[in-house]
Amino acid sequence: MKKVRLGKTDLMVTKTAFGALPIQRISVDDAVKLVRRAYEGGINYFDTANAYTDSEMKLGIAFEGIRENVIISTKSGGKDKATVQAHIENSLRMLKTDYIDLFQFHNPAELPDINDPNGPFAAALEAKEKGYIRHIGITNHRPGKAKEEPAFAYAPFQAHAD
């Protein structure tokens, strides 16, 4: 299956990805079978979110023994440092992994303030510095907001800012 570079990261992902929102509606066994079938079919990029009820837990079970072969993206809608820290810790636990490949702020109304020591970006940056996440991004459902350039896209600590 053809792979492409994900944005400005070093991640090479399959053009076909697995969005894990729907697996919250099926049993653990069925979800694990579905995810493994997708992986065996060549998909390596799996997207989930802390808010997708048991989706992360199901992915964590499905990825046992193959974690090093998949790219995991997860998201948080947290609006402060403590909430985002808790979401990252929970995601790591549920996904049964030591790191998240791409952590994203999920559909924020306003872009995170990179200078707020108690803001959501501070939590993501600390997690990145500890090696818990490799890349930081943003998702958005608002076309105007999605076109805004996040300030941290050019920050020196970003992997793509070399």
Catalytic residue among 52, 99, 132, 154: 52
pLDDT at position 113, please?
76
In words, the CATH class of domain 3-161 is alpha beta
- DSSP assignment, residue 84? H
User: What is the C-alpha end-to-end distance of the chain, expressed in Å?
Assistant: 29
Report angle CA 95, 115, 142 to the nearest 5 degrees.
Answer: 65
pLDDT tens digits along 5-52: 998 899 999 999 999 999 999 999 999 999 999 999 999 999 999 999
Domain boundaries, the chain: 3-161
Taking Cα atoms as reference points, which of 27, 25, 28, 1 lies closest to residue 13?
Answer: 1
Any catalytic annotation for residue 52?
A: yes
pLDDT one digit per residue (tens) for the chain, 162 residues: 899 999 889 999 999 999 999 999 999 999 999 999 999 999 999 999 999 999 999 999 999 999 999 999 999 989 999 999 999 999 999 999 999 999 998 877 777 778 889 999 999 999 999 999 999 988 877 667 666 666 555 443 333 332
